[in-house]
Amino acid sequence: MGVEDEEHRFDDWNIHTTDYKEVGDHGIEVNVIIPKDIKPGSHPLIVRFHGGFLVTGTSLYTEWFAPYIVSFAAAQSAIIVSPNYRLLPESKGSDILDDISDFWAWVQQSLLSFVASRSTVPLTVDFDHILVCGESAGGHLALLSAFMLPEGFINAVLAQYPMTDRRTEIAAAKKTKMIFSMPAPDEDFVDKFVARIQPGAVVSDATPPARLDLMFAVAVYGKWCDFLGYDPKFYPIEAIETATHFPSMWLLHGRDDEILPVESSVVFVEKVRELFPDTKVKLTVKDGNHGFDGEKSVDKDPWLKDGVEWLVKEWLKN
């Protein structure tokens, strides 16, 4: 995918930004993305969480915002809402879950009035048709959202190579000192970074390449759980054990993923099917590394077309 394509990803959309919460004097942003040609009436909702290992990333970083999601959102005249959230290691897992909970409260209490205040035509949000999606860490937060919200609130989840279990070090990258064909930071990189954090610092967005070195170091040397925490509620493969419901889900993962092994997604899908046999679940495993779907197109990849059609049906059913 070319840089030019990324720069024009949202040419046909209006992007409206506000803060959905404040932490001290730090506002945490949410972007509400509405088609420029949207017609009056009620429109389905897509909530999209960005990836970045909970360490880096921002909601409008287009390189990680898969174009096929934008395309099927446009085809359904959907409204997209994409929030930021506090990042590790300045914050911890409980802070991130608080942000996600507060974000969903904002969606339910304030999104309608915000959309109405920004639109030139009468619009409302169809809360009966909500799709939640995210890549990597965003997939992790999409899955946790499915657990924390009432049954039936979310119609479907698209989880792109999500983090589902407790991350350990990446042995191959630790040995070769290479990850994604780039040099991995030294093992003491994370400790040095943490030592420089100012008390009370809050970071809720970082546009790559900012903090990519930190993300790689946290992943390669197995530091993720130390910052996120060890409570089972932080890990979908464990949190699902106490869940009472789960929506339809399409999970896709690259067979050659260097950061998150595909086996973790296979095990998670098996657990969903075991605990919720009536839930519709689709698992797609294809050749490719982490983020493999970013250059895929429904026009060129039949498997993607089939998956999107399945997902949209689950999202918009009833």
Q: Give the tens place of pLDDT for each residue, 173-226.
A: 999 999 999 999 999 999 999 999 999 999 999 999 999 999 999 999 999 999
- Measured CA to CA in angstroms, residue 32 lies from 81, 91, 189, 199 at distances of 5, 25, 36, 32
Task: Give the CATH class of 3-316.
Answer: alpha beta
| Owner of token pair 């399409």 | 250
pLDDT in tens, 266-287: 999 999 999 999 999 999 999 9
| Owner of token pair 């991350």 | 167
The pLDDT-based confidence of 139 (bands split at 50, 70, 90) is very high
pLDDT at 128: 97
Look up the pTM and report it.
Answer: 0.96
Question: Is the model's pLDDT at 2 over the cut of 70?
Answer: no
- Please give the share of the chain, as a percent, with pLDDT higher than 90: 95
CA angle 120, 78, 116 (to 5 degrees): 30
Phi and psi at residue 136, in whole multiples of 5°? 60, -115
Average pLDDT for 237-242: 97
Q: Which residues contact 225 (CB under 8 A, 6 or more apart)?
A: 166, 167
CB 311 within 8 A of CB 142: no
pLDDT in tens, 39-50: 999 999 999 999
